[in-house]
């Protein structure tokens, strides 16, 4: 009877040990997708990054997966008054990607929200300091300054702004005249090229 109880007790212990080992093994196994990079932290400190693939890390570690693909973000349209007292609606579309995963995790609580806020502020500053007619006829300088204003803080968050597209229209009773300004910012200095289209003449 005692031998039987001992065998049962030993079996339970072995089962528990095996179960714990399996749980630890599963906990230590982390998969990172081909378009991601993992930021590893443990006990509140940064331990490094892991590339795509299957990895074994400490069961106590936390792996934050960061998407490295190009993404787009639409900045909500807002109504502003230009330097020549014209009321316009302006919005923007950003294309960006994370190039430094640790910075994107540690330097901003939410880099997407921060990027949108910086774009809002940059749009307000640029539109209020420019005439609408000048902006329509030669939007490139404004676009370059806007791209630079967004790129500077984005770099601190580990984000690279690849393109900025503006949508500007005069706010009146008729349809707004859209103006698309595309700035390529993949190089250190924004490329001096743009595309613009207007459905009707604005100004004059």
Give the chain's domains with CATH numbers: 2-67 (no CATH), 71-184 (3.30.479.30)
**Among candidate residues 25, 71, 30, the one with its CA nearest the CA of residue 54:** 30
| Residue of higher predicted confidence among 106 and 93 | 106
pLDDT at 185: 41
Per-residue DSSP letters for 91-109? Answer: EEEEEEEES-HHHHHHS-S
pLDDT tens digit sequence for 155-202: 999 999 988 888 777 666 344 444 444 444 433 333 333 333 333 232
The CA-CA-CA angle for residues 188, 76, 167, to 5°, reads 65
pLDDT at 183: 43
pLDDT at 21: 77
**Among candidate residues 70, 41, 44, 69, the one with its CA nearest the CA of residue 57:** 41
- Rounded to an integer, the average pLDDT of 115-135 is 84
3-state secondary structure of 23: helix
Cβ–Cβ under 8 Å, residues 198 and 179 = yes
Percent pLDDT > 70 in the chain is: 78
pLDDT tens digit sequence for 139-149: 777 778 888 88
Average pLDDT along the chain: 78
How far, in whole angstroms, is CA 169 from its chain's centroid? 26
Contacts of 108 (CB under 8 A, 6+ apart): 114, 157
pLDDT at 1: 54
Strand partners, 72: 95
Q: Model's pTM, two decimal places?
A: 0.72
């Amino acid at each position: 009877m005692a031998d039987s109880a001992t065998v049962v007790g030993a079996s339970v212990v072995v089962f528990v040990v095996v179960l714990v080992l399996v749980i630890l093994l599963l906990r230590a196994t982390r998969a990172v997708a081909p378009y991601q990079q993992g930021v590893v932290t443990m006990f509140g400190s940064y331990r490094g990054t892991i590339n795509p693939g299957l990895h074994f890390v400490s069961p106590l570690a936390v792996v934050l997966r960061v998407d490295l693909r190009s993404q787009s973000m639409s900045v909500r349209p807002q109504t502003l008054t230009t330097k020549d007292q014209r009321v316009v609606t302006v919005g923007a579309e950003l294309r960006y990607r994370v190039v430094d995963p640790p910075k994107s995790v540690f330097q901003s609580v939410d880099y997407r929200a921060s990027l949108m806020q910086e774009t809002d502020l940059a749009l307000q500053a640029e539109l209020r300091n420019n005439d609408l007619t000048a902006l329509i006829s030669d939007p490139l300088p404004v676009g370059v300054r806007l791209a630079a204003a967004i790129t500077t803080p984005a770099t601190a968050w580990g984000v690279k702004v690849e393109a900025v597209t503006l949508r500007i229209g005069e706010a009146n009773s008729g349809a707004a005249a859209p103006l698309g300004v595309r700035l390529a910012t993949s190089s250190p200095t924004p490329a001096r090229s743009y595309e613009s289209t207007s459905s009707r003449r604005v100004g004059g």
